[in-house]
Amino acid sequence: MNEIVNYSMFIDGRWTEAADGKRLGSVNPATGEDWASFPEAGIRDVDAAVRAAHKAMTEGPWSRMTASERGKRLRRLADLLAAQADDVAKLETTDTGKLIRETRSQTRYTAEYLNYFAGAADKLEGATLPIDKPDLFVMTIREPIGVVAAIVPWNSQLMLTAVKLGPALATGNAIVIKASEHGPVPLLELARLCAEADIPPGVVNVVTGLGDPCGKALTTHPLVARIAFTGGPSTARHIIRNSAENFGVVTLELGGKSPILVFDDADLDSAVNGILAGNFGATGQSCVAGTRVFIQASVYDEVLGRVAERAKRIRIGNPMEEQTEMGPLATKGQRDNIERVVAASLKEGASLVTGGSRPAAQPKGWYFEPTILACETAAVPVARQELFGPVLSAFRFKDEADAIAAANDTEFGLAAGIFSRDGGRALRVMRQLRTGIVWINSYRASSPIAPFGGYKSSGTGREAGRESLLDYTRTKTVWIDTSTKPMGDPFIMR
Ligand code: NAD
């Protein structure tokens, strides 16, 4: 029997239990066994967290701190995270099953996201306007928007939190983060580092619990002004409805069914690696997973054959071991769903190229083989539903027009990959893809400097990059009469 590690949540600078004492468990996906427990926040706990954030923004030292000082605190947080990345990464791997080699590099790189926003803290400026009326001086200033509710899933959660916390704090807001119920521990570690970085109590709060009541109470709270959500489209619909209660400004980073297009003039080594990265990296549990692969007919057999051959050799195993290339899925529910959808797709005419089962060598934990299905039609469920797992659907195409039409035939629009050595073609195709991100001759790269977000059911708004900073501010317009005369006729609008 494992020893269970007990975590608390972080509200107003204090480690806190749920008011009603309820707790939830976290399962290690590599073993299928409970390893940690954490509070199940209810409405009262969420209310306490939001009130603490509101107080920190309106009364606390945070509200009086200069932007430069806020930037320094954020930078301190970044330094602490980078220095402790290895320990945090081990916890994330235990909690979510994500490979240690990726959690380690991603945690270090998350510090760069915080640094990016730290540097921006004192570079937000207002404007003076060349107003079209005499004797008036008009300026705009940028103010913090208000308490931010950040809702995140379990995958890449530190990075997905940094793109919310970074701009929120740089611009002077306070934040309540709702961690995922499927692996909240890395965010509780982040809360500990916030305290170490001297970010004042109440500025960053982390609550743990279920979507309903915890996430619902947070996104409907009257003191919340901004909701930054990352998760699935069906939850996003709840979020939008919830925001009707507080008119919170909402951004949504949702799922995808991203296409990868391989033309016959591509560097096929790159294309094969791009397809592998897009489908089997992070065990396919990536919002930008390139799960619909379109290959030009003349190179279809060669490309698919090479991808399948490499997929069969992927080292599946304990995510804590350095040499492992694919770990388990994060939850049993995900694996069950993947098995259902793969079986239904095979029944509807897709053919199995490789995989399709639980690996025999991993009897425990939520493992599933790297799986490739060759599809004649895009109507099969595997080609339409986001599975969040290592399952690729392959299609052949004739020409550019055919490829573009097929790639756009989806409700999603997060990312796309194009492999071609013809620069003109790559740009021509890129312009016609209805997605927020396009990688040309590459796949699955990200940076704090580059905006991230989707079209259609993949979401609204962008995270990272300069424009995301403004989403955490409001503009105030200030009119000043500079004349020596009293104000004129009160019955005519000036
Ligand atoms: P999910 O939508 O089930 O949950 C996301 C978060 O929302 C969790 O913290 C959950 O507790 C919370 N939630 C659930 N119901 C809620 C409610 N009624 N009110 C408020 N909060 C609620 O998603 P998941 O299964 O944890 O994560 C996978 C999904 O996230 C996939 O669809 C994936 O594509 C998406 N994702 C998107 C991006 C991106 O940046 N575009 C990145 C990573 C993951």
Residue 79 has pLDDT above 60, yes or no: yes
Is the distance from CB of 375 to CB of 300 less than 8 angstroms? no
Q: Please, which pLDDT band fits residue 128 given cuts at 50, 70 and 90?
A: very high
Is the distance from CB of 471 to CB of 427 less than 8 angstroms? no
Per-residue model confidence (pLDDT) at position 85: 98
Within the chain, what is the greatest distance between any pair of CA atoms?
A: 87
Residue 398 has pLDDT above 70, yes or no: yes
* Substitution candidate for ligand 1 out of 102, 151, 258 with most atoms within 8 A of CB: 151
Render 226-259 in DSSP notation, one character per residue: EEEEES-HHHHHHHHHHHTTTT-EEEEE-----E
Q: Report which ligand 1 atom has the smallest distance to the Cα of 179.
A: 9
CATH 3.40.605.10 residue ranges of the chain are 5-253+464-477
Per-residue model confidence (pLDDT) at position 393: 98
Mean pLDDT, rounded, for 139-152: 98
Q: Which residues pair with 458 in a beta bridge?
A: none
CATH 3.40.309.10 residue ranges of the chain are 259-440
Cβ(40) – ligand 1 distance below 6 Å: no
Cβ(388) – ligand 1 distance below 6 Å: yes
Residue 391 has pLDDT above 70, yes or no: yes
Q: What is the rounded average pLDDT for all residues in the chain?
A: 97
C-alpha dist (Å) from residue 114 to 47, 170, 288, 473: 27, 9, 22, 18
Cβ(467) – ligand 1 distance below 6 Å: no
Q: Does this model's pTM top 0.85?
A: yes
Mean pLDDT, rounded, for 277-286: 98
Per-residue model confidence (pLDDT) at position 89: 98
Give the tens place of pLDDT for each residue, 166-218.
999 999 999 999 999 999 999 999 999 999 999 999 999 999 999 999 999 99
The residues assigned a catalytic role are 253
Q: Could you give phi then psi for residue 143, rounded to 5 degrees?
A: -115, 155
Mean pLDDT, rounded, for 255-270: 98
Mean pLDDT, rounded, for 271-277: 98
% of the chain surpassing 90 pLDDT: 99
Cβ(153) – ligand 1 distance below 6 Å: yes
Fold for domain 5-253+464-477? Aldehyde Dehydrogenase; Chain A, domain 1 (3.40.605)
Give the tens place of pLDDT for each residue, 360-388.
999 999 999 999 999 999 999 999 999 99
Mean pLDDT, rounded, for 240-268: 98
Per-residue model confidence (pLDDT) at position 274: 98
Is domain 259-440 annotated with CATH 3.90.740.10?
A: no
% of the chain surpassing 70 pLDDT: 100
Report DSSP state, residue 284: G
Per-residue model confidence (pLDDT) at position 353: 98
Per-residue model confidence (pLDDT) at position 2: 73
Ligand 1 atom 40: the closest Cα is on which residue? 253
Q: Please, which pLDDT band fits residue 146 given cuts at 50, 70 and 90?
A: very high
Ligand 1 atom 12: the closest Cα is on which residue? 211
Cβ(38) – ligand 1 distance below 6 Å: no
Mean pLDDT, rounded, for 119-140: 97
Mean pLDDT, rounded, for 345-363: 97
Residue 1 has pLDDT above 60, yes or no: no
